[in-house]
Structure 1
Amino acid sequence: MFMQMVDGTIVTTALPRITADLGASAQAQLLVVSGYALAFACTLLTAARLGELVGRRIMFLGSVAGFTAASVWCGMAGSAGELVAARVVQGGAAGGMAAQTIAIVGASFPRSRHAQAFAVYGAVAGFAGMVGPILGGALVTADVFGLGWHSIFLINVPLGLIAFGLALRYLHLGRPERRERLDLPGAVLSSACLFALLVALTDIQQNGWRAGPLAMIAVAAAGAAVFVAQQRRAARRGGAALVRFDVFGDRGFALGSVLITVFFGLFTAFVFAISITLQEVLRFSPWQTGLLMTPFAIGACAGALASPMLVRRWGVRVLAAGIAGFGAWVAIGAGYLSLTGGAISVPLVAGPVVLAGLGVGLFSVPLQPVILSGLDQRQLDATSGLVPTIEQIGNALGLALLSAVFFRAHTLSGSVTMFAAIAVAALGTAVLTLALPEPADRR
Structure 2
Amino acid sequence: MTETATGIRTGGGPGAWLAFTGCLLSVFMQMIDVTIVNTALPAITTDLRATSAQQLLIVSGYSLAFACTLLPAARLGARAGRRRMFLLAVVAFTAASVWCGTADGAGELVIARIVQGVAGAGMAAQTIAVLTALFPRELHTTVFALYGATSGFAGLLGPILGGGLVTADIAGLGWHSVFLMNLPLGIVAFALAWRYLRLDAPPRRAPMDPAGVVLSAVTLFGLLYGLSEIHLHGWRPLPCSIVAAALVAGAVTLRHERRADRRGAGPLVRLDLFADRGFAVGSIVVTGFFGLFTAFVFAISITLQDVLQFSPLRTGIAMTPFALGAGAGALLSPVLVKRWGVRVLAGGLVLYAACVLMGVAYVNITDGRVNMLLCAAPVFLCGFGAGVFAVPLQPIMLAGLDDEQMSEASGLLPTIEQIGNGVGLALLSAAFFRAHTLGGSTVMLSAIAVVAVVLAAVTLALPDPDTAPVRPLPAPAPAVN
Q: TM-score, normalised by structure 1?
A: 0.93
State the shift of 1:256 in Å. 1.1
The equivalent residue for 2:152 is 126
SS of structure 1 residue aligned to 2:163: helix
Equivalent residue, structure 1, for 2:318: 292
Q: 1:268-306 CA distances to partner (integer Å, 9 max, x unpaired)? A: 222222223222222212221121011111111221222
> 3-state SS of the aligned residue for 2:410?
coil
Residues 268, 279 of structure 1: alpha-carbon distance in 2 compared, 3 angstrom cutoff:
same
Q: Which residue of 2 aligns with 1:435?
A: 461
Query: Counterpart of 1:399 in structure 2: which amino acid?
Result: L
Which of 58, 62, 67 in structure 2 is aligned with 1:36?
62
Deviation at 1:245, TM superposition (A): 0.1
- 8 Å Cα contact 1:119-1:307 kept in structure 2: no
Instruction: Provide the rounded CA distance (Å) in 2 between the counterparts of 1:185 and 1:410.
Output: 42
Instruction: Give how far 1:320 is off.
Output: 1.2
Q: Is the alpha carbon distance of 1:413 and 1:398 closer, same or farther for their aligned partners in structure 2, counting shifts above 3 Å?
A: same
Q: Which moved more, 1:368-377 or 1:175-184?
A: 175-184
Match of 1:11 among 28, 37, 40: 37
- Offset of residue 248 of structure 1: 0.8
Residues 208 and 403 of structure 1 are in contact (CA less than 8 Å); yes or no, is this contact kept in structure 2? no
CA separation in 2, counterparts of 1:95 and 1:137? Answer: 26
User: One-letter code of the match for 1:189?
Assistant: L
Q: Where does residue 234 of structure 1 map in the other structure?
A: 260
After TM superposition, list the pairs within 5 Å mapping 1:17-416 onto structure 2.
Answer: 17-405=43-431, 408-416=434-442
Match of 2:177, SS?
A: helix
- Find the aligned partners of 1:205 and 1:136 in 2 and give their Cα distance: 25
Distance 1:110-1:288 versus aligned 2 partners, 3 A rule: same
Distance 1:307 1:110, change over 3 A: farther
Whether 1:422 aligns to 2:445 is: no
Q: Distance in 2 between matches of 1:84 and 1:282?
A: 28
- Secondary structure, aligned partner of 1:374: coil
> Which of 223-232 and 19-28 deviates more?
19-28
Is contact 1:407–1:414 with CA below 8 Å preserved after alignment? Answer: no
Letter in 2 for 1:269: A
| In 2, Cα distance between equivalents of 1:407 and 1:160 | 33
Amino acid at match of 1:390: I
Paired amino acid for 2:295: A
CA shift, 1:249, in A, is 0.9
Aligned mates of 1:52, 1:65 — CA distance in 2:
19
Aligned CA distance change for structure 1 residues 188 and 286 (closer, same or farther; 3 Å): same
Report if aligned partners of 2:285, 2:459 keep a CA contact under 8 Å in 1.
yes
The whole-number CA distance in structure 1 between the counterparts of 2:337 and 2:468 is: 9
CA–CA distance in 1 between the matches of 2:48 and 2:370?
36
SS of corresponding position for 1:99? helix
The amino acid that maps onto 1:186 is G
Deviation at 1:332, TM superposition (A): 2.0
Residues 272/149 of structure 1: CA separation in 2 closer, same or farther (3 Å cut): closer
Deviation at 1:422, TM superposition (A): 2.2
Aligned 8 A contact 1:253 1:372 in 2: yes
Deviations 1:157-180 (A, max 9, x none): 111110001112222221111223
CA distance in 2, matches of 1:29, 1:281: 17
Letter in 1 for 2:324: I
Q: What count of residue pairs does the alignment treat as equivalent?
A: 443
Q: Which stretch shows the higher mean deviation, 22-31 or 163-172?
A: 22-31
Query: SS of 1:209's equivalent?
Result: coil
2: distance between equivalents of 1:24 and 1:349? 33
TM-superposition CA deviations, 1:304-349 (whole Å, max 9, x none): 2222222222211111111111112122222223333322221111
Find the aligned partners of 1:40 and 1:32 in 2 and give their Cα distance: 13
* Change in CA separation of 1:433 and 1:142 when aligned onto 2, cut-off 3 Å: closer
- Distance of aligned partners of 1:142 and 1:285 in 2 relative to their CA distance in 1, 3 Å threshold: closer
Q: Residue 244 and residue 440 in structure 1: after superposition, are their counterparts in 2 closer, same or farther (change >3 A)?
A: farther
Is the alpha carbon distance of 1:317 and 1:24 closer, same or farther for their aligned partners in structure 2, counting shifts above 3 Å? closer
Alpha carbons of structure 1 residues 88 and 80: separation in structure 2 relative to 1, 3 Å = same
Q: 1:174 to 1:119 in 2, by over 3 A?
A: same
Deviates more, 1:116-125 or 1:377-386: 116-125
Letter in 2 for 1:388: P
- Name the CA shift for 1:29/1:170 in 2 (closer, same or farther; >3 Å): same
Structure 2 unaligned runs (5+)? 1-26, 470-481
Q: Partner amino acid for 1:252?
A: G
Q: How big is the alpha-carbon RMSD for the aligned residues of Structure 1 and Structure 2? A: 2.1
